[in-house]
Each structure stands twice: as structure tokens, then as C-alpha cells.
Structure 1
């Protein structure tokens, strides 16, 4: 964020006073507002569309929404989902509708933390954004594809905000230092830029904290003692990246990495049951038939996680994660069901063969009445192969048995 100084509000926090007012002053998010950014191209046409801004805190979501409203000369309304109700949305929409009919001026509703509205409450937005009473900019630190309903997503453009580069943060702090004549060294600014992990707001707040001390000629070591922060896990911002790292580590048979990511999430306050559920899914998706015990082990871990809290639950989750990482891997069942669903979605649906129905029961051959508990008969009218055996002891042996049974 390049910076704008409001001389008349010098008692406001630095992060507020130096909030950018134009796209030219805005730093970072080049994928959105750079010369080739989609949002910049939309603004050139002077017409904005319903959008979701998602990404970590302190990356400019609120600021950019205000810039959009200012540049397009739209009214700007703000709601936070933690405090707002469906009635608040209706009141703003009605007010916006009246203003537009009188002035021909549209209204942007910046709806912060939109993911905190449940999916039924989110439906209350659909009518007004559909007919254009309001233009929605929903902001969230959560992945919208997991937390917003499909009807809302289908009506909005998605803009993902990235953490600011260390260089961007340093540039912001340096400009404020010069404007405010703060006596802090480049080394201190570099240290702040490094520890905030792309959060410009937090960086400016740290700068303001230090500037209010009697002695601002501080060393990096002294600043480290004052701020006492460290890189850690954020339950909102880092959740999906970290769980992805855990899953991929287990899939890649790396128990050390798997335990590390479990530890990071638990240390950051993540819900143990969330990890347990992901481990159950992984047991079927990635281990599957290669180790038939993987799923019951994971399910047992999930059941235990429901009854046992921290710190003891860490041991159970670690055991499950390590067990799954050590297990042989197969995604044959996962691939088979996806192929079958794709077949159903893209081709004609087959009818059930008559001999498999109640009406055709007299023609059904009961396998247990035959030698080896097997008899050849059709179970689909058109035979389609969905299952491909995995390269593991169980499935290789099972495939050989199938070949002998069916004479393939």
C-alpha cells in the first residue's frame, strides 16, 4: 500500500491515517489491480460486479473496496457478519433501491467476514444482488469454495488476495517513518517486515507501538523483546494450506512431515476433530484397499477425538497420522467412484438388469448356491470398467482371483 496522509485526522491510528485512497497508492495484489489485473480492467469500464475478496488479514480487502466505491462514485455501505442480521441487509438494500431510483447512483455493500453468515443466511443476499439493488463485495479470510453456498458463488467474481511481499511491507513502513519522523533503523523495519508475514496492518501497528516509546533508537534485539511475536499457525488464514501439507505428506509416505503439520495445527488451536475427520477421508482416498485397517484406525481416532481433548488427543492424532503415512497407498476406490459418477453425469443412465430386480428374481443366480460362491452373470447391461487395481499385495492378489473367476 502506498500511503496517503490525512492531515486532519492525526489522532487516528497510523494504519487508518495511511490507508491508500487510489489504485496508484495501493501496494501488492498485482494479480488483481496491476496493469493486467482483472479488477483494474473492470474499473476502466466504470462498472463493477458482485465479488468476493478472499485472503489473509492486512492484505487490503477493505481498502480496495473503498477505493472501488470512490473511483466509481458509488455509495458505500459496510456490514460485518459477526454483528449483522438479515434485516440489516434488507434495510440497506431498500435504501439503496430508493437512492438509485432518485439519483441513479448505485450502492456497494461491503460485507466483511461473510463466511460467518451460515448458508441459509447467505441466501438472503441473492435476490438483491440478482436484481441489482446492491453490488456485493463479500470479504473473507476463509476459502469461499468451502464456506459460501454455490448460489452465491455463481453470482460473484472471485478475487484472491495474497500476503504482501516483505519488500512491500518495508516500503510502507519506510514511508510512514519519513512522514512521521520516527527514529527507527532500517534493520528494525526489516525485522518488522519479516515477522508479520505479509500483514500490512499488523506491521503498521507494530511501528506505531514502537514510535510511542520514549526511546525509539532501538536495536533489533530490543524490538524482538518488546514485540515477542513469532511465526505460527493462524486458524483462519493458514488452515487450508496446512491441512493440505499434512494430507500430501501422508500421501507421500513422510511420517515426520505429517507429524510436524499436525503439531503446527494443534499448537495453533485448531479443532482436533477437524484433523481427525480429514484423516478419515484420507484413509479411504489415499490408502484404501492397500491397507484395509487404515479406515477403522482413522475412524477410531475420530471417535476418540470426540471424547478426549487437548493435550492428550495429540497422541491419538499423531498415531493415526504416522500409521497412515507408513501404510502402502492406493487410490483405486477413489478413482473408481469418480469414473462411475462421471459416466452417470455424461452418458445415458443404465437400467437395472431385470434379473437383479424383484420382478426378475426367478432368473437371478444366487452365488452361494454355486461352487466357490461364484457364478457368471451380468450385473450391468453394458459392462464398463471403473476399477483398476492398485500395485499392492492385497489388490494384486484380489485381481488374480477375479481373473480366474471371470476367465479373463
Structure 2
């Protein structure tokens, strides 16, 4: 890059890029991860960063931290964006990484933005490179990695969840931006409005600050504030996504198909990924319906599979069918409560070994199919537990009667 272009580029760069922190000490927010005793800070400072996923909303510092890591760790640094990167791009990075190991003895960190956009084939290729240590992966995503990444890849990375920046953090960033822009004063009402609009996204906050400065010559503060307030009232952010999905789930739980379909429509019209919606529908099928109507899981899972193959606008019909079916279905949270109780006991230290007769050696195991009605009484755990409590609905009342007959439950 020649000096003339570099100087001109510096002049036109967005404020968010001009203010991007260059070190951990300059980084604002994410105290739990990057504060004085933050685990991620310690890993970076000790040069011990391993394959990781940075997961969180836009404008919270994921990409910025990736660049800081590139300056803090004695490694080669490569960056790709999964929305545009191909397998050939990935292979080219790996080849350069191999050369860096061979000639310079240096590892390579690959920062992969929007990692959730990689398909299964791309994720599988990425997995092999991470496993053999050719590259250290740092993936950034706004989507929950437990839903969007392969289990095999998830098992080989550390996941760090980033939170939206707090209001006080955005205020500090705005103050720095005001100084950078050489502005003498910004009305507090304008600052408060920007804070409301940004909702924890530093990039949006700085973009609006820059917009305010550029508008000052033609409009007065009151006119600009009025424009900002209009924008605030119509702004759809990541936060809206979670509010709308919550409204849809609660409407299904409350057996109101009309409200549930309305919130589904709001999500789809707002551009939400149908696959994300489908995953939440599957969770609802177990959490709120479960054994009251096991077919609900089949319907939900079929909708999720369809969402992987069919896009908008047709997928809206499939999702609507699933939402309506689950809404009118009989409800029970017995499966949800059962696993929660079991996990709670395990976390408290209830770590029983598997009894010998049902362990891998299976000494003394009674094979139920050798007995009448394919059932025989034997202990499947040393401690008697009752986690699954059938709900009061037609299907689970029958299940309850069966459990009473088999195990003498009350």
C-alpha cells in the first residue's frame, strides 16, 4: 500500500475502525473474559490460546479481539470471512501455515469470521486442520455455536461467550469518539438517544455519532435528535430477535396458534434464518410437549430438516404447519423437569458407578426379552430415583399406570 493511498484511506475510514483498540489494555467491556482476572486474558498473555469460538452479538468486540491476539501472540495471523471464503482459500492458508512451521517454527492463528456460515463439508475440512495442529482456529459468530457447528468441531474448541456491551461501556466509547472527531460538545439528549439505538453495539453507536457530526452543518441538534428518535422507534436489532422468538415460543406453550403464527411471520419478515427458528421449534417440542404427544417431535424435526433444504418463501408454510401443530398439541414439561432434576443431582456430586450387571461386562444381567411381557425386575441404578413424573394428560396417564404396574410407583 503506497503512502498516498494509506493517508487517504485513514481520512475516510469509519470512526469505528479509527478507534479500534490495539491492545488488551485499550479494550472496553467483556470484564468477565478480559478483565484483570479474566480467563481469556490470561490465556492470551501466557501465549496459550487454543482453538476457540468467540460467540456473541454484533459490535461486542469479537473481531477486534482477534486482531489484538494477532499482535499479542508470537504467531503468524491469517483472516478469512466464512461468507466469502472457499475450501481453496482455506487450503491456501493451511499451505502457508505449513511453510511457517517448516521455515520459521511459528504457528498460525486463523481468525474465521462468521464461522456459522461454513457448511458441513467446510467445517469437516476445518476440523482436520485444527486436529493436526497446523492452524489454531479462532472462529467468530453471532449464532449459538451449539446449534450451528458440527459436534465434532465443538468438541475440539473452547467456547467464549461475549455479551452486548453495557451502557457505561458505550458511553466511554462515545467519549473517545467525540475526542477523535474533535467535537467540543454533544448534547446529552443526543448521547442518550444513541445509547438507546445502539443497544450494546459499539459499531452502531460510533456510526451514529459520526452521522451526528456530519449532519451538524445542515441541521440543528433538535432536528437531528428528531431523526434519531424516529430511527430508534423503528430499529430492529439482535435484541428484537430474542424478544420475538420468546414471544413465539410462549404463544405455542400457551396453545395460541394465531399469536404463534404472527410472531413466526414477524421473525421471517425481519429476515431471521428459518433454520434458527426451526431449531427452536424442535426444542419446544421436547421442553413443552414431550411425552404428552411424542409425534410433536417428529413434526418439529421434519420442519428442521426441511429448513436445511428449502428456503424462503416456501419454508414459511412448513414452519407455520409445525408451529400450529405444536400450539394446539397437549402440553407437558415432564421431560424437561426430569433431565433438570437429574443434572442437578449430578452437579451436587451424585456420581454413581454403573452396577456391574448393566455395565460393559454385564455379569448377571437379565435380558428383558427372555421374560414374559419383555420385562423383568432388576436394579438399573443402586439408588432409587424418580425423575420422570408423568403429566396429567391422556397419554401420560397411561404411562403413569404402566410405571405403577412395572415398578410399583405410587
Same fold by TM-score, threshold 0.5 exceeded?
A: yes
Change (3 A) 1:176 1:311: same
2-side partners of 1:292 and 1:21: how far apart?
Answer: 53
Per-residue CA distance 1:109-137 (angstroms, 9 max, x = gap)? 11111111112211222333333322211
Residue 323 (structure 1) aligns with: 328
Is residue 140 of structure 1 aligned with residue 148 of structure 2? no
Residue 188 (structure 2) aligns with: 186
Q: How does 1:187-202 map to 2 (within 5 A)?
A: 187-202=189-204
Residue 100 (structure 2) aligns with: 99
Q: How does 1:9-158 map to 2 (within 5 A)?
A: 9-158=10-159
Say whether the 8 Å CA contact 1:279–1:320 is kept in structure 2: no
Please tell me whether Structure 1 or Structure 2 has the larger radius of gyration of its CA atoms.
Answer: 1
Stretches of structure 1 lacking an aligned partner (at least 5 in a row): 1-5, 357-363, 365-375
Is residue 215 of structure 1 aligned with residue 211 of structure 2? no
2-side partners of 1:321 and 1:355: how far apart?
Answer: 35
Is residue 224 of structure 1 aligned with residue 224 of structure 2? no
Pairwise CA distance, 1:312: 8.4
Say whether the 8 Å CA contact 1:389–1:399 is kept in structure 2: no
Per-residue CA distance 1:230-289 (angstroms, 9 max, x = gap)? 34354xx76567545643565477999867854652442335686467446534542345
Residue 204 (structure 1) aligns with: 206
Change (3 A) 1:315 1:252: closer
Pairwise CA distance, 1:158: 1.2
Say whether the 8 Å CA contact 1:195–1:230 is kept in structure 2: no
Which range moved further: 253-262 or 85-94? 253-262
Say whether the 8 Å CA contact 1:266–1:314 is kept in structure 2: no
Change (3 A) 1:380 1:251: farther
Residue 163 (structure 1) aligns with: 164
1-side partners of 2:134 and 2:299: how far apart?
Answer: 52
2-side partners of 1:102 and 1:407: how far apart?
Answer: 68
Change (3 A) 1:221 1:12: closer
Is residue 394 of structure 1 aligned with residue 394 of structure 2? yes
Pairwise CA distance, 1:199: 1.0
Residue 359 (structure 2) aligns with: 348
Stretches of structure 2 lacking an aligned partner (at least 5 in a row): 1-5, 347-352
Say whether the 8 Å CA contact 1:259–1:321 is kept in structure 2: no
Change (3 A) 1:74 1:246: same
2-side partners of 1:143 and 1:135: how far apart?
Answer: 21
Pairwise CA distance, 1:194: 1.1
Say whether the 8 Å CA contact 2:79–2:111 is kept in structure 1: yes
- Secondary structure of the equivalent of 1:270? coil
Pairwise CA distance, 1:54: 1.2
Say whether the 8 Å CA contact 1:115–1:144 is kept in structure 2: yes
Q: Could you state the TM-score of these two structures normalised by the residue count of structure 1?
A: 0.73
Residue 3 (structure 1) aligns with: none
Say whether the 8 Å CA contact 2:334–2:388 is kept in structure 1: no
Change (3 A) 1:334 1:230: same
2-side partners of 1:172 and 1:15: how far apart?
Answer: 9
1-side partners of 2:240 and 2:26: how far apart?
Answer: 28
Q: Could you state the TM-score of these two structures normalised by the residue count of structure 2?
A: 0.73
Is residue 382 of structure 1 aligned with residue 378 of structure 2? yes
1-side partners of 2:126 and 2:404: how far apart?
Answer: 59
Say whether the 8 Å CA contact 2:256–2:328 is kept in structure 1: no
CA RMSD of aligned residues (A): 4.4
Residue 349 (structure 2) aligns with: none
Per-residue CA distance 1:131-187 (angstroms, 9 max, x = gap)? 332221111111111111222222222111111112211221222112312353221
Aligned residues: 377
